[in-house]
Amino acid sequence: MPELSIVIPCYNEEGNISFLIERFSALASRLPAFEIIFVNDGSVDKTCERIRQLATRPLKFEVRLLELSRNFGHQKAILAGMRAARGACCVTIDADLQDPPETIVAMVEKWQNGFDVVLGQRNDRTTDTFFKRTTAAVFYKLMAYLTNGEFPPHVGDFRLVSRRVLDVLNNLNERSPYWRGLVNWVGYKRALVQYKREARFAGESKYNFVKMMLLALDAIFSFSKQPLYLSNLLGFITSLISLLIIVTHLTMKIISTTSFVPGWMSLMAVITFLGGIQLFCLGIVGQYIGRIFDQAINRPQVLSYDIEVIAGSELEMNQSPAIQKSLI
């Protein structure tokens, strides 16, 4: 059994697979016995073909391929990989090589020194676009405010967790898992390893603006009740402003000699203002109700095929890849 499992979610990453394996091959002597679990999240390119081609290469570690039945999204692909992991600890890392695999060596050292959670923290994001750096900074400051500083800044999905933390995470029943928050929520002894974020090696980022916004909403509504308190505050402020409008209108009616349609201005101001606030607050409540609805339906979080053992030191190169049954 491997001591370390490395989970790599993939969505249209055919250009990165070979170079990713080369980077891990160079690390084989510096890491304990490990396996790599590629999770194919409904790719429509040749990602799976590139992974299966690894069966012809002699490797010092085992490579396994887990294909999901469709595209479930990045966070659920990580869940599927973690449930398939067999190691005493597990690392999750993206396939784009922006998070350097060499950092895993320092993570493993922290784990061997007794830490259950080791988070990769980006201390240099110059390779990111200005827009991404700016929105990321705003997001982390917002999360720090909403969670009273519980979320460390510039920490993504590059992390190591011990087996006991992994078992806890695998047994959670989150419909929309946000792993950066859940790993922080479980507690346990935690350490940070800083690294420089590199440029994407090949392909394009799958996180466009809409997906980034959806991920941010999952983070906010899964780990904070502050938006509900905000709706209460807006209700109070709205009532106060409406009272000021009424007072202002009565004052103008008394002291002004200008003729105008009686009541029109104040009526329109109050209706439009109150209507906008009500819709905004209903949207906040709807976000929470939608998550309750997803939990009540209780569908499986992710569906997959069987796990293929593609390559590894235990396989003879002239044998067909083994198939391992696994309920994900």
Q: Check pLDDT > 90 for residue 179.
A: no
Flag whether 214 is in a domain: no
* Residue whose pair of structure tokens reads 């690390």 in the numeric block: 27
Flag whether 144 is in a domain: no
CB-neighbour burial class of residue 169 (10 A; exposed 0-12, middle 13-18, buried 19+): buried
Structure tokens at 121: 């923290």
Mean pLDDT of 174-178: 75
Q: What is the pLDDT of residue 143?
A: 67
pLDDT in tens, 115-144: 999 988 888 766 666 667 677 677 777 766
Flag whether 31 is in a domain: yes
Same structural domain for residues 284 and 197? no
d(C-alpha 317, C-alpha 199), whole Å: 34
Q: Sorting pLDDT into bands at 50, 70 and 90, what band is 5? A: very high
Q: Check pLDDT > 90 for residue 7.
A: yes
Same structural domain for residues 58 and 166? yes
Concatenated DSSP letters for 70-104?
Answer: S---HHHHHHHHHHH--SSEEEE--TTSSS-TTHH
Q: Check pLDDT > 60 for residue 100.
A: yes
Structure tokens at 289: 């109700």
Q: What percent of the chain has pLDDT over 90?
A: 9
Question: pTM of the full predicted structure?
Answer: 0.67
pLDDT in tens, 238-270: 767 767 776 776 777 777 655 555 666 667 666
Residue 152: DSSP 8-state: P
Question: How many domains, in total, are found in the chain?
Answer: 2
Q: Check pLDDT > 50 for residue 52.
A: yes
Flag whether 136 is in a domain: no
Q: Check pLDDT > 80 for residue 73.
A: yes
Q: What is the pLDDT of residue 309?
A: 75
Flag whether 165 is in a domain: yes
Mean pLDDT of 263-291: 69
Q: What is the pLDDT of residue 147?
A: 62
d(C-alpha 80, C-alpha 108), whole Å: 22
Phi–psi pair at 97, nearest 5 degrees:
65, 15
* 190, β-bridge pairs: 117
Same structural domain for residues 255 and 317? no
Q: Which residues, 6 or more positions from 12, have their beta carbon under 8 angstroms from its beta carbon? A: 43, 44, 45, 47, 203, 206
Same structural domain for residues 198 and 73? yes
d(C-alpha 328, C-alpha 326), whole Å: 6
Structure tokens at 78: 């990580």
Same structural domain for residues 283 and 308? no
- Do residues 219 and 138 make contact, with C-beta atoms less than 8 angstroms apart? no
Residue 320: DSSP 8-state: P
Query: Which parts of 171-263 fold into alpha helices (H)?
Result: 179-186, 209-223, 226-255
Region of poorest pLDDT, from 95-99, 102-106, 146-150: 146-150
Q: Sorting pLDDT into bands at 50, 70 and 90, what band is 322? A: very low
- How many Cβ atoms are within 10 Å of 259's Cβ, its own excluded? 6
Mean pLDDT of 269-294: 69
Flag whether 139 is in a domain: no
- Do residues 288 and 242 make contact, with C-beta atoms less than 8 angstroms apart? no
Flag whether 216 is in a domain: no
- Do residues 26 and 104 make contact, with C-beta atoms less than 8 angstroms apart? no
- How many Cβ atoms are within 10 Å of 70's Cβ, its own excluded? 10
d(C-alpha 72, C-alpha 300), whole Å: 11
- Do residues 194 and 118 make contact, with C-beta atoms less than 8 angstroms apart? no
d(C-alpha 315, C-alpha 187), whole Å: 38
Mean pLDDT of 65-78: 86
Q: Sorting pLDDT into bands at 50, 70 and 90, what band is 327? A: very low
Q: What percent of the chain has pLDDT over 70?
A: 62
Residue 175 sits in which domain range?
4-131+152-209+300-324
Structure tokens at 116: 């259950």
Q: Check pLDDT > 60 for residue 211.
A: yes
Cα separations in angstroms, 277 against 157, 240, 246, 263: 35, 13, 18, 21
